[in-house]
Amino acid sequence: MAEAGPKKPRDPFIAPLDGPQLRGFFRRLHARPWAEQQAFVARVNWNLVDPGTEYHLMSWLAMQLESSEPERQAFALATLGKLPHFKRGRHAERFKRLMPRLDTDLATRLAEAFGPVLGGPPKRPKGKPAAAPKVASVDDLSKLKDFFGKFGGAR
């Protein structure tokens, strides 16, 4: 019996699918029930997606926005809202062409998900809201004057 050598670690990255394979994959994805489609797209690591797959996934999200089912629309908007700006920005033109076909509420929410690229408000980082600037007291100003006085004064 031949002795097996050390096991070669399996490479998690495979070559991207070619055009016909990619179209076949997404054709089979569209044939699946909605829950399976949603579960698959929710698990996608968008940082590892090649450009061809990203294009097809964005097409899938656009198709969900055009659906009349609010659950699908909400899922697509939530997914778009989580994507890094540069991923959304590459496909902004496609979603801009889609906006006139959507109802006004959905178009507004899509613009909010994309930010200024589609006319929405700027995306703010999550966390504490910006604090309003406070007026400096006389004590604060005297501390600043003393600090700068130690180093030759303000120039």
d(CA 110, CA 106): 6
Q: Is 115 left (phi over 0), alpha (psi -120 to 50) or beta?
A: left
With a cut of 90, say whether residue 133 has pLDDT above it: no
DSSP H helices in the chain: 19-31, 34-43, 51-66, 70-82, 85-89, 92-98, 104-114, 138-150
**124 DSSP assignment:** P
Q: What is the share, in percent, of the chain residues with pLDDT greater than 70?
A: 85
> pLDDT tens digits for 52-96?
899 999 999 999 999 889 999 999 999 998 888 888 888 989 999
Task: Flag whether the pTM goes above 0.75.
Answer: no
